[in-house]
Chain A
Amino acid sequence: MFPDEPQFHRIVPRSGVRFAITVDGRQVEVQAGDLLISAILLHQSALRRFEFGDGYRAGFCLMAACQDCWIKLGDGRRVRACDTVARPGMSVTTGVVAVNGSANA
């Protein structure tokens, strides 16, 4: 498994419902009001692979302008992670963190 660390850090703790979403098959805990970009980057370093070359992307502008944070949901929808709120039961495919030693693209 590729060593990976969270990019985002929660510095203002808040109360509120906690629930799990699935990111590349693993369960991660999020809080009500978390955007998907937060939900994902609180647990790993990137959101997706860059499709035209090497490297990974983790979003850029967080205001739905730069279009860098498109991700694929389990139900087939493609959404911007920066303006989509995480909901219980969501599942996301990023292909960033390798699972069981193999790339999960």
Chain B
Amino acid sequence: MKETIVIVGAGPAGVRAAETLVEAGLALIVLDESARAGGQIYRQPPHGAERPAEKLYGSEAGKARAIHTALEQIRPRVDYRPGTLVWNCFQGKLNTLHDNAQGILPFDRLIIATGAFDRVIPFPGWTLPGVFTLGGAQIALKSQGIAIGKRTVLVGAGPLLPLVASQYLEAGAEIAAVLDVTPFKAKIAALQRMMAMPAMVRRGLSYLSKIRRAGVPMMYGVRSLAVAGDRRVEGLAWTDHRGRRHQVACDAVGASFGLKPEMQLADLAGCDFRFDELTRQWLPVVGAGGRSSVPGVYFAGDCSAIGGADVAELTGIRAALSVLEDRGTPKPQQLRQLETELARHARFRAGIEAAYPFPNHLIDGIDDSLMVCRCEGVSAGDLRANFVKSGAPEVNRLKSFTRVGMGRCQGRVCGAVAAEILAAKSGLPLPEVGRLRGQHPIKPIPLVAGKQS
């Protein structure tokens, strides 16, 4: 049977899924928004800005090269379409935008491998020029050889924090402080679980030792962040775990608090979601073999649950094996091996989640004056006042009243925080205020909808 199989995303998950299907002799289409494959983790700089893989990806250079090479090798047998945005999924069809041309692509099977994005929590000054996400700080360096500032403070709640700090130091950038908003004792308590993958722990320790040897202050359990500066970043203030206030001068801040799946496409495809208590996030329901709740739609990589690049490769292969199984050609032995390896990663991941618990204290500290929705300029006070006025205890109604999450980013930056604020104000448990429904277009598209392709 001739089916149209589409993979969205050409990071480690999408590439491994594609490779597995090509090896099984299937034709497929790979759509990727980026101009070059690799996703964010193994992102390739634009032509002209290339650097040796060892410089770009450090200890992960081999894996990055393997993903880039894998795509090059299957390219003659795959319909690979870089620079293609998928902005909607409707009745078994994808709406695409490539080079200003609209396209409609019907599919029989869809593997969603759209990756993840930094988890953002607003703090005073977070919209000032000079404040970027940690991921953004890393991309500036990886893709451009650029530091986001002359003197940068990095803030985080996950393994990306020590990684980006060590990469900046390695490249010769000045880091004024590395601030972890989760407690140190959580790392100690989680160490045994993280030791499910000793090599990962060693990697993490090497980043920490790099920071220490550079003499950069590294603090844990940091609270009450505030950027100093009027028109741009001039410093960052925080409270340490003993309650003492600190401030350092800096002209840039890289801050985000873990990762959040890019699940808009899963939402528009009609996939079921569930509330994950541990990470306080809504996540797509992932069934056996990476299947979604919608027949013919599969997940690979960080888009359905954060697992990191190695897990993305494995779940990419797994999604492809599930496609094969659903077409009547199962590979049970390969699947069993994968599941065993994924189980080990899951133990490690549980350790990571415990080492970096969600920083509720940053949510609790959000003042009325703080802008929560940076697209539309909606403050926390606007959200709270609306609940008092309207009594509407649901986040989509909050959106229609206040425009929170209605801007260009479609709520991917602020939606989860708006729900936290509504839950706190209404006294309802977080899952009960709901989640912002996915809306097309997933990203802004030109209204003058060019030619049809």
Give A contacts to B, CB under 8 Å. 5, 7-14, 16-17, 31-35, 38, 42, 45-47, 50, 52-53, 55-68, 70, 78, 82-83, 85
Known: A8-B144, A50-B377, A83-B34. 4 other contacts (CB 8 A): A33-B50, A38-B140, A60-B131, A62-B139
A-B contact pairs, 30 of them (CB 8 A): A7-B251, A11-B146, A31-B49, A32-B49, A33-B48, A33-B144, A34-B48, A35-B143, A35-B144, A38-B140, A38-B146, A42-B146, A45-B129, A45-B232, A53-B377, A58-B130, A58-B132, A61-B135, A62-B132, A62-B133, A62-B135, A62-B140, A65-B409, A66-B374, A67-B375, A67-B407, A67-B408, A68-B409, A85-B35, A85-B47
**B161 CB → nearest A CB, Å:** 16
Which range holds the interface residue count of chain B?
35 or more
B443 at the interface (CB under 8 A from A): yes
Give B contacts to A, CB under 8 Å. 33-35, 40, 45-51, 55, 117-118, 120, 127-133, 135-136, 139-141, 143-150, 171-173, 231-232, 251-252, 262, 374-377, 407-409, 412-413, 443-444, 446
Contact (Cβ within 8 A) A63 B136? yes
Main secondary structure of the interface of B (DSSP, over half): loop
Contact (Cβ within 8 A) B117 A63? yes
The residue on A at minimum CB distance from B117 is A65
The residue on B at minimum CB distance from A44 is B129
Contact (Cβ within 8 A) B130 A33? no
Select which of B48, B135, B408 is within 8 A of A70 by beta carbon. Answer: B408
Contact (Cβ within 8 A) A68 B374? yes
B33 / chain A contacts, CB cutoff of 8 Å = 64, 83
Select which of A47, A53, A85 is within 8 A of B46 by beta carbon. Answer: A85
Contact (Cβ within 8 A) A61 B171? no
Select which of B51, B144, B145, B374 is within 8 A of A60 by beta carbon. Answer: B374
Tell me the complex Cα distance, A52–B376, Å: 7
